[in-house]
Amino acid sequence: MHNPWVIENTHLVLRLFLSVVLGGLVGFERERKNHAAGLRTHTLVCLGSCLLMILSMYGFADFVGEPNVRLDPARLAAQVITGVGFLGAGTILFTGKSITGLTTAASIWVVMAVGLTVGAGFYLPAVLSAAMVLLILWGLNIVEKRYVNNRKECTFILTASSDTSYVESFQSVLTQHGVKLIKVRFLDIEATPMGSDLQAQRIMISVVLPHRELLIVIADELNRINGIRSVTAE
Domain boundary at 99, 115, 148, which?
Answer: 148
**Residue among 113, 71, 63, 70 nearest 88 (CA):** 113
Threshold 0.75, pTM exceeds: no
Nearest residue to 181 via CA among 148, 225, 220, 222: 222
Listed residue (69, 51, 66, 68) closest to 7, CA to CA:
51
- Within this chain, do residues 144 and 157 fall inside the same structural domain, yes or no? no
What's the CA dihedral at 174, 175, 180, 186 to 10 degrees?
50
Q: What pLDDT score was predicted for residue 57?
A: 86
pLDDT (tens, 9 = 90+) of the chain, 234 residues, equals 467 777 888 989 999 999 999 999 999 888 887 777 788 989 999 999 999 998 888 877 767 777 776 777 778 888 888 888 777 777 776 655 556 788 888 899 999 999 999 998 899 999 999 999 999 988 887 777 666 655 677 888 888 776 667 777 777 888 888 887 777 777 766 555 544 445 677 888 888 877 777 778 888 888 888 778 778 877
Show the domain range for 137.
Answer: 9-148
Non-local CB neighbours of 90 within 8 Å, separated by 6+ positions: 36
Is the domain of 78 the same as that of 141? Answer: yes
Based on the domain organization, do 227 and 200 belong to the same domain?
A: yes
Distance CA 82, CA 118 (A): 18
pLDDT of residue 197: 47
pLDDT of res. 194: 47
| Rounded Cα–Cα distance for residues 110 and 81 (Å) | 10
Residues 63 and 165 in one domain: no
pLDDT at 101: 80
